[in-house]
Structure 1
Amino acid sequence: MRLRYEVELPYQVQVTGADFIFNIQAARTPQQMVVEENLFVSQQVPLQEYTDPASGGRFLRLRAFDGELTVRYQATVDIVHRLDDPQMIAETWVRDLPGAVLPYLYPSRYCESDVLNSFAMTQFGTLWQGYGRVQAICEWVQRHVSFVSGSSWGTTSATHTLQSRQGVCRDFAHLMIALCRAVNIPARFTTGLDYGADPALGPPDFHAYVEAFVGGRWYMFDPSGTAIPMGFVRLTSGRDAADSAFASIFGAVQAMTQRLSITAVPGSDGVLREPVRTWQALSTDSAVQPAAG
């Protein structure tokens, strides 16, 4: 499947010396190949790039002068999706988890799985320990939390969302992640764009979704239910939103109206393959070798 997206982020920098860290470039992974890309920065400033070896996230860093700053990025990406039968995917025992997966078992800033342990065990502890339990958690969050724009803050955590029962995509993701970790299922926060979202929710935007580690690989889930997972282009992943911001700003800066777009385009064979919803387990991740011993 070939997807093309564009991100334009305009700012008004009020004082020279404001620092920015962006994470808007498509991650390069064995299942996600960047066919072509173009980066434009309106100010003539040095750019520094760093790729996180664990997540594949690509960090772009710059220091801006005062005045207008626009960062624009375009990419065409080929994605190879893996589709599996959910009934054939069992959970991975903690003793068999690869070392790189272990950090996603623990509580984090926005995902207080320790606080939610009792609640999670009551709701999901007796379910079959496989993909179906993760799907049950995803569906529970989708049913019990309402999508309400502007209903949360940058400091809103999973426990707050469970209490308020409303939020935006990052809040849905944090709650699902916390509930998964509370029943010993590794889960991570992943960012992309909201392909297929209802225009009534607003213009295209960055999107937070969840990947849970079951059956030896990371599978994708969208607890907000607002987008089509097959249309997600991976930007980065982490323990929660603290690891995965699309833009971090240090200094006196006013963000202007951003512009995003994403669409399916014909692949190298000339065939257009559009993302669709599927009942199958969906992954864009390679299998991870289990722990030795």
Structure 2
Amino acid sequence: MKIRIGYELIYDCPQPTPMILTLSVHFTRASDIIIPDYLFTDPPVPITAYRDNYGNWCSRIVAPKGQIKLFTDALIRDNGKPDKVVQQAKQTPVENLPDDALLYLLGSRYCETDLLSEIAWQLFGKASDGWAKVEAICNFVNRHIAFGYQYARPTKTAWEAFQERTGVCRDYAHLAITFCRCMNIPARYCTGYLGDIGIPPPNSPMDFAGWFEAYLDGNWYTFDPRNNTPRIGRVLIARGRDAADVAISSTFGPNTLVSFKVSTDEVNEMRST
């Protein structure tokens, strides 16, 4: 399967504005890329790149005064399989976790483990360990939060999403991540492309998606409490503790996001007989 992915973001800046952009496909998918997702800008500006502390590929620019368009149009190969389900995956005791997984047990900007720990143990303390516990957490979050773009705000935390019972995909992920960490299961936030391959088209415009990965039995597995079903064609961009680590843009000056478009579509290939 081949998937065409891309974005077009237009910012209006009243003055030259430095930006950090996390928009590139994750290095773990490098071998799948057919047409690279190079970052283009209009007007053209110098671009430098670096790896952040989580291994994500980030770009640095200084947007000029006025409008700037950021865009890409890429093609990636995908195995066409849904997210892996491993019901027998067990929970790893904290004392046996690898050092690099321990960070994902701790509270972070949007995941307040201190506020939700007691609630988590009340809700999930009796659930079977391992995959079943993460599944129970996802089922609860999926039922607990009502989805709606009108409920989105950049400052909403897991605690607030739990209290308000509304949100978007990142809020579902933040709440599930927090519950997992409270139950001693490392969990990390993911952002990327997720189209409607294999399901009816959504009624809303395409957006970047947020989900999470939980560490079980020596592996990181994908979970998506917003959709709460295995999906096809997920293309990872970045991972981190929460959305603060994987923001598509971090801007250092006043600006307005004028336009935001994301696309991800399966490419239908003609076959000769």
TM-score when normalising by structure 2: 0.90
**Amino acid paired to 1:231:** G
Aligned to 2:247: 245
Are the counterparts in 2 of residues 12 and 256 from structure 1 also a CA contact under 8 Å?
yes
The 5 Å alignment of 1:60-71 reads 60-71=59-70
Runs of 4+ displaced beyond 6 Å: none
Are the counterparts in 2 of residues 194 and 228 from structure 1 also a CA contact under 8 Å?
no
The 1:83/1:8 distance shift into structure 2, 3 A limit, reads closer
The 1:246/1:226 distance shift into structure 2, 3 A limit, reads farther
The 1:88/1:31 distance shift into structure 2, 3 A limit, reads farther
**Shift of residue 106, structure 1, vs aligned partner:** 0.5
Matched, 1:176 2:179: no
Aligned to 1:18: 17
Q: Is the partner of 1:87 in helix, strand or coil?
A: coil
**Shift of residue 175, structure 1, vs aligned partner:** 0.4
**Shift of residue 84, structure 1, vs aligned partner:** 5.3
Aligned to 1:110: 110
Q: Distance in 1 between matches of 2:76 and 2:225?
A: 24
Q: Distance in 1 between matches of 2:85 and 2:121?
A: 25
Are the counterparts in 2 of residues 191 and 237 from structure 1 also a CA contact under 8 Å?
yes
Q: Distance in 2 between matches of 1:36 and 1:167?
A: 34
Are the counterparts in 1 of residues 109 and 244 from structure 2 also a CA contact under 8 Å?
yes
Aligned to 2:261: 259
Are the counterparts in 1 of residues 84 and 230 from structure 2 also a CA contact under 8 Å?
no
Q: Is the partner of 1:45 in helix, strand or coil?
A: coil
Task: Flag structure 1 segments of 5+ consecutive residues without an equivalent.
Answer: 272-293
Q: Distance in 2 between matches of 1:244 and 1:84?
A: 23
**Amino acid paired to 1:164:** E
Q: Distance in 2 between matches of 1:163 and 1:122?
A: 16
Are the counterparts in 1 of residues 92 and 218 from structure 2 also a CA contact under 8 Å?
yes
**Shift of residue 226, structure 1, vs aligned partner:** 7.7
RMSD: 2.4
TM-score when normalising by structure 1: 0.84
Are the counterparts in 2 of residues 212 and 219 from structure 1 also a CA contact under 8 Å?
yes
The 1:60/1:259 distance shift into structure 2, 3 A limit, reads same
Q: Deviations over 1:86-129 (max 9, x none)?
A: 33211111122111111000011110112211111111111111
**Shift of residue 53, structure 1, vs aligned partner:** 6.1
Q: Distance in 1 between matches of 2:181 and 2:50?
A: 29
Q: Distance in 1 between matches of 2:85 and 2:211?
A: 21
Between the aligned residues of both structures, percent identity stands at 35
**Shift of residue 148, structure 1, vs aligned partner:** 1.9
Q: Is the partner of 2:77 in helix, strand or coil?
A: strand
Aligned to 2:134: 134
The 1:175/1:85 distance shift into structure 2, 3 A limit, reads closer
The 5 Å alignment of 1:129-278 reads 129-196=129-196, 198-200=201-203, 202-225=204-227, 229-265=231-267
Are the counterparts in 1 of residues 84 and 221 from structure 2 also a CA contact under 8 Å?
no
**Shift of residue 3, structure 1, vs aligned partner:** 2.1
Q: Distance in 1 between matches of 2:163 and 2:78?
A: 37
**Shift of residue 79, structure 1, vs aligned partner:** 3.9
The 1:137/1:244 distance shift into structure 2, 3 A limit, reads same
**Amino acid paired to 2:247:** A
Aligned to 2:95: 95
Q: Deviations over 1:199-227 (max 9, x none)?
A: 32x20001111111112111111111188
Q: Distance in 2 between matches of 1:193 and 1:116?
A: 29
The 1:230/1:52 distance shift into structure 2, 3 A limit, reads farther
Q: Deviations over 1:172-199 (max 9, x none)?
A: 1110000000000000110012312853
**Amino acid paired to 2:25:** A
Q: Distance in 1 between matches of 2:147 and 2:106?
A: 26
Q: Distance in 1 between matches of 2:260 and 2:168?
A: 18
